[in-house]
């Protein structure tokens, strides 16, 4: 599929993976709206991106944890760049699993940002694109959502919920010609994983961003990045619970 060159909203634009996706899409000539909380970093990213690619780049401030700002974000993005062709949801919060086991506020923050906040913005974007009968939405879920593991089940369950939400949304929106793609990255070398030890197959964010945009052009429904994670998670999902619960994964 040839992706047309309409405006794209990047929500969570300061994320390591989002930077790479923005770069790929800007190189293709899409006007970009970089949205996030850090105004100065957004401005810096926008001027760098527009200088390097010659593309129109805008910024918009929003806090994913405040659903009231989500309709305003869509209005601002559309006013600045025009009706959106696409949207990428890249914000997320890994949090601290150990802390989340004793501190409900930490557990709640992980669950709310990764699931409730994403669902809220998707709710707004879906209505707009469904009404216009056009568009695409790409969302960063995670391999962590494919199976609950002792070491990160709070984050994993939020991403698992998001994955299921996206399955249903994809089925709803395909009737309107709106495409929804779920991205399931394995560990990627970004601020999110900085300082974590024992991460297998740590991927480069540039490679991950390029693979995501390639999958988007092919209108994939679900993409694992890097691709070996599809097989790894298939195998992990087949391990019987009786055995799996005794691992310290
Ligand atoms: N890195 C990995 O190994 C990995 C693996 C699987 C899935 N993922 C998922 O991929 C996505 C991108 O990950 P990444 O590693 O690129 O992330 P990252 O570099 O750690 O960045 C996280 C992003 O989330 C934003 N964010 C957090 N709370 C926010 C809020 N309340 N409102 C608005 N933005 C908020 C941050 O904005 P600020 O700059 O304002 O903090 C930042 O842009 C996330 O959804 C993550 O869960 C990552």
Q: Considering its fold, how many domains does the chain have in total?
A: 1
Chain CA centroid to CA 8, Å: 13
Percent of the chain with pLDDT over 90: 94
- Region 93-102 average pLDDT: 98
- Region 95-124 average pLDDT: 98
pLDDT-derived band of residue 89, with 50, 70 and 90 as boundaries? very high
Ligand 1: which residue has its CA nearest to atom 7? Answer: 142
- pLDDT tens-digit readout, 202-247: 999 999 999 999 999 999 999 999 999 999 999 999 999 999 999 9
- Region 133-143 average pLDDT: 98
Residue 2 lies in a domain: no
**Active site annotation includes 155:** yes
Q: What contacts 202, CB < 8 A, 6 or more positions away?
A: 187, 188, 189, 193
- Taking the whole predicted model, whether its pTM rises above 0.85 is answered as yes
Query: What DSSP designation does 202 have?
Result: P
How high does pLDDT run on average in the chain? 96
What pLDDT, on a 0 to 100 scale, did the predictor assign at position 84? 98
For 65, the token pair is 């944890």
pLDDT-derived band of residue 196, with 50, 70 and 90 as boundaries? confident
Residue 66 lies in a domain: yes
DSSP β-bridge partners for residue 22: none
Residue 215 lies in a domain: yes
Ligand 1: which residue has its CA nearest to atom 18? Answer: 15
Ligand 1 proximal residues by C-beta, below 6 Å: 12, 14-18, 36-38, 63-65, 90-93, 113, 140, 142, 185, 187-188, 190-193
Residue 153 lies in a domain: yes
**Statement: residue 1 has pLDDT above 80:** no
Phi and psi at 182, nearest 5°, equal -100, 125
**CATH number where 175 lies:** 3.40.50.720
Residue 249 lies in a domain: no
- pLDDT tens-digit readout, 151-179: 999 999 999 999 999 999 999 999 999 99
Residue 132, number of CB atoms within 10 A of its CB: 13
CA distance 104 to 93: 15
Query: What DSSP designation does 56 have?
Result: -
Distance 113 CA to ligand 1 centre (A): 10
What pLDDT, on a 0 to 100 scale, did the predictor assign at position 200? 75
Query: What DSSP designation does 190 have?
Result: S
Residue 3 lies in a domain: no
- Residue among 143, 140, 144 at smallest CA distance from 156: 144
Residue 218, number of CB atoms within 10 A of its CB: 11
Residue 1 lies in a domain: no
What pLDDT, on a 0 to 100 scale, did the predictor assign at position 194? 87
Which alpha helices (H) appear in the chain, and where do they start and end? 16-27, 39-53, 69-81, 97-100, 104-111, 118-132, 153-174, 205-217, 228-238, 241-244
What pLDDT, on a 0 to 100 scale, did the predictor assign at position 4? 64
**Statement: residue 199 has pLDDT above 90:** no
- pLDDT tens-digit readout, 37-70: 999 999 999 999 999 999 999 999 999 999 999 9
Residue 16 lies in a domain: yes
Structural domain boundaries enclosing 157: 8-244
């Amino acid at each position: 599929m040839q992706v047309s060159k309409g405006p794209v909203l990047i929500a969570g634009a300061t994320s390591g993976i989002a930077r790479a996706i923005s770069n790929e899409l800007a190189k293709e000539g899409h006007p970009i709206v970089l949205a996030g909380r850090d105004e100065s970093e957004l401005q810096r990213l926008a001027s760098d991106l527009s200088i390097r690619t010659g593309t129109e780049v805008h910024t918009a401030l929003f806090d994913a944890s405040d659903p009231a700002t989500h309709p305003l974000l869509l209005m601002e993005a559309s006013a600045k760049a025009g009706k959106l062709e696409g949207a990428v949801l890249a914000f997320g919060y890994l949090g601290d699993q150990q802390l989340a086991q004793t501190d409900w506020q930490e557990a709640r923050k992980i669950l709310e940002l990764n699931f409730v906040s994403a669902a809220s913005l998707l709710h707004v974007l879906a209505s707009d694109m469904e009404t216009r009968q056009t568009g695409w939405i790409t969302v960063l879920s995670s391999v962590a959502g494919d199976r609950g593991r002792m070491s990160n089940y709070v984050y994993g369950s939020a991403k698992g919920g998001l994955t299921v939400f996206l399955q249903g949304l994809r089925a709803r929106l395909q009737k309107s010609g709106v495409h929804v793609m779920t991205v399931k990255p394995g560990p990627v070398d970004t601020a999110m994983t900085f300082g974590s030890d024992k991460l297998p197959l740590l991927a480069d964010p540039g490679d991950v961003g390029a693979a995501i945009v390639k999958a988007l052009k092919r209108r994939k429904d679900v993409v694992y990045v890097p691709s070996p994670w599809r097989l790894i998670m298939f195998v992990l999902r087949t391990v019987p619970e009786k055995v799996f619960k005794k691992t310290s994964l």
